[in-house]
Chains A and B, each alone.
Chain A
Amino acid sequence: MKIEGEYVFDAPREEVWKVVRDPEVLTTCVPSVQSVSKVNENEFTGEIVLRIGPLSGAFGGRVTVGNEVPPESCTLTVEGTGKIGFLKGVGNVVLVEQDGGKTLMKYSGEAQIGGKVASVGQRLFDSVSKGMIKQGLDKLNDILVKRMAA
């Protein structure tokens, strides 16, 4: 399944990059994340509770950051397993400077899901994931705007 989108942050690229690479901040933004811990600079583990239609369950996962070109781009590899299935994904994140101190984020990736999440939840997975990404990015933007104002 493809995940693709764009988002414009009301903050300069350097600032956006900082929060994107800060798991403490990210944790507070991604909906339903229960915990995140840093394994090393480029690897984080954590737990997230997903609710997809009739299904809900905790996923234990690992996020690895690769191909890092600060503050322009990186690759995120996500792997998670839980009682309602598994998910795997690789995504590219690109930050492009915009006029007026804004930053355009482009993201694109492939996600693979299996188990109950796929067989019962697939029809909803697309909209759930889109919703979660939108919510997360909005929250991240709020944090950035507040930081800028401070």
Chain B
Amino acid sequence: MPTDEPAGYLGEAQKTLDKAKVKVGDRISIQTADNTFEGIVIPRAEIGADDKHIVLKLDSGYNVGIHVDNIQKLKKLKAGKKGQPELPAVARKIKKGVPWVSILSTGGTIASRVDYHTGAVNPALTADDLYTVVPELGDIANIRAEVLFSVFSENLQPSHWTTIAKQTAKHLEESEGVVIAHGTDTMGYTAAALSFALQNLPRPVILTGSQRSSDRPSTDAALNLTGAVIAASQAPFAEVVIAMHRLPDDTSISLHPGTQVRKCHTSRRDAFLTINADILGEVKDDKVHMLVDSAAYHHRDPKRELSLQPKFDSKVALIKTTPGMTGELIDSIIDREYHGIVLEGTGLGHAPETLMNAIERAQEEQIPVVMTSQCIWGRVQMRVYRTGVELVQQGVIPAEDMLAETAYVKLMWVLAQTRNLSEVRLRMLENLVGEITDCSKRSQYEEMTRQ
């Protein structure tokens, strides 16, 4: 991940460095009672670092932290170089007969290189950078690269989805497919957002990222990226999908449908799973293999006219119902004039009776309330138990087998177009881009939980 700001020193450590007019990157010597250390001042680690130590990178390559109280003498030996070192020039060859693919980056460092002088990890963003770091890309496609922004995925806003959607639409006009490099945390949300914003696609839109940072030899980024570029240029479909590792092995990349995919593990390479649907296909041995019937997806058709509706209403809340919860939380959302609420209820789509008054109030104030399930897998069914029946009577919209995150994004997208409650209800219950299925298959749970 890129650092928003260069990590600096604070407190005593900063004072000590300032006094000697030393900056990060300078070569200095520090004398302590026992030793003399010579090395380059490197940025202070962001995790668990105090303000009492100065970190030097020694000639051996090791870093050492020296406590400011133990410093007897500090001397600046040589000023560090300003700016990033030049990258080696790579002759960019445009290959004839090789398709063009756009790679839009949003902040996930799908490719990066390490500055071994300071230990900083710098993202590779331009097409040239990408060719240098993942040279095999050049054999698959001619790359058109654009940096949209550089934001951690947890900080992405609905307004960013809008930008991504607009830029993707632009690139779809001239490239065989678009790849979006994205942080994995909220990739599922963005995939859903693009699915709604970019309908009637002529060509595929592939989101990808990495669970192991791209500076390490074991990174999953390169295989994910090449898999995504292969899918963008060769896949028979015109869908929004997520391309990530299918297994812990470096053998196969899953192609998950954009509205039915979720990050289900904090750290594994195969963290993403298709939920309540069938995985579309996989990229294996440099080829796309479809795993669903060819009637199950929109086919690539460069002539098809894209329908772009990139607006989202960000005044929507996603709330998980829990034992002990009262109506206060929902009341306060209504007080703050939110336009819609998605509940992640328990089981088949239930909420404690302590919420009933608040939900009733939402209806009175024309705020749509959508019910999904925190079970993740399965469909809400609110006519089985009394609580469900009562909620439906209150006007709660059952989101069928839609993922809570997808329902949240969809409600934002619908509300950007209409605030009319019955209109909203209709749109929410209608399957627009595969977010709702009418049939739950046994294999969709068993296969996804194969491990």
A and B together in one complex: no
Q: Which residues of B contact A (CB under 8 A)?
A: none
Q: Which residues of A contact B (CB under 8 A)?
A: none
